Structure 1
Amino acid sequence: MMPSDDDRRAHAAAASPYHDPYGADPYRAEPYRHDPYHADPYRAELAVRTRPAAAGAVVCALAGDLDIETLAPAADTLTALVAQRPGAVVIDLAGVGFCDSSGLNLLLRTRLAAGEEGVELHLAAVPPTVMRVLELTGTRAVFSIHPSAEEALAV
């Protein structure tokens, strides 16, 4: 009696319970461990820093890649900031090297949430890679964009 396809898949899963997102041999003896010696050198983290500014405004500076894998800290921070209803929220993008569709979605959702709360939202120091995404998607026009956080705060 020949094993079914389901039996073969079950056997393969039992032989290798480790899922390696980097495409290495799924049957290797050791699982992938996230440590400095096995870290993905191409994956950039996202740093999120906030600081109060004049007139009750808040600056949220992002540095790193703004993508689906690194998005959570920025989403949590921006949601909390808008909920506090400051005078304005300035998202400083000077340190962002990459932005995918989920990063764009976060910016758009934050803009909508800020509008609903009556909070002004500004983008500052938008790098060329992010500006290109905004231009290609036609969303540049919906944001208040400034060359620097300081200039955004002066508005």
Structure 2
Amino acid sequence: MRDAVTVRPFTSHAVVHSGVARVTLIGELDLDTAPLVRETVASCLAKQPTSLCLDLADVSFCDCAGLGALLRARTAILLSDVSLVVEGIGPPLARLLALIGAGDILTERSSGTDTEPVRRAPGAVAARHEAGETATVDQALRDHLA
């Protein structure tokens, strides 16, 4: 049971349709709720989508455990060779990413083979797994922060 300090309980919604998965996270992403991100993303990946949209617009709070869950989800998605689109990085998460020097970790990565521009909602960013990429996302994050 959550304590009385919780302003907005955490919920996650996942839908997979025609090879496209959409995961919407709402509320406080913290130590208690981080495992739900992993479970939700894993259940989507089990359905083998070609792309996954992670909607973070309604995340009202994110601590280090929540950030870790998002980065592990990103790793799992990209290592599954699934395109990742992240929508709605709000002020709490943007601030946390900026504080650790990873403000662009959830930005577009293009393999240069795409002929059409990525289309997404305003405020959205995207990341794609590049063919032949062998470094883990953890290593990429360490390299980015160096």
Same-fold call, TM cutoff 0.5: yes
Is 1:46 equivalent to 2:10 in the alignment?
yes
Judging changes above 3 Å, is the alpha-carbon distance between structure 1 residues 92 and 80 closer, same or farther for their aligned structure 2 residues? same
Superposition deviation, residue 151 in structure 1: 6.1
CA distance in 1 between counterparts of 2:123 and 2:20 reads 11
Query: What RMSD in Å do the two structures reach over aligned CA positions?
Result: 2.9
> Of the two, which has the highest radius of gyration?
1
Q: Which has the higher helix share?
A: 1
- Give the structure 2 partner of residue 137 of structure 1: 100
Decide whether aligned partners of structure 1 residues 63 and 105 sit closer, same or farther in structure 2, where only a CA change above 3 A counts.
Answer: same
Aligned residues: 116
1:79 pairs with one of 25, 32, 42: 42
Q: Unpaired runs of 5+ in structure 2?
A: 109-118, 129-146
Secondary structure (helix, strand or coil) at the match of 1:107 reads: helix
**Of the candidates 52, 55, 61, which is equivalent to residue 92 of structure 1?**
55
Please list the CA deviations of residues 32-63 of structure 1 after superposition, one character each: whole Å capped at 9, or x if unmatched. Answer: xx6xxxx732124211012235x521111111
1:61 is matched with which residue?
24
Q: Which amino acid aligns with 2:82?
A: V
In structure 2, relative to structure 1, the CA distance for the partners of 1:150 and 1:58 (3 Å cut) is farther
Partner of 1:126: 89
TM-score with structure 1 length normalisation? 0.63
Structure with higher RCO (Cα < 8 A, 6+ apart):
2
Fraction of identical pairs, as percent: 27
Alpha-carbon distance between aligned partners in 2 of 1:124 and 1:80, rounded to the nearest angstrom: 20
Distance (whole Å) between structure 1 residues aligned to residue 124 and residue 70 of structure 2: 19
Partner of 1:116: 79
Residue 83 of structure 1 contacts residue 117 of structure 1 at CA under 8 Å; is this kept in 2?
Answer: no
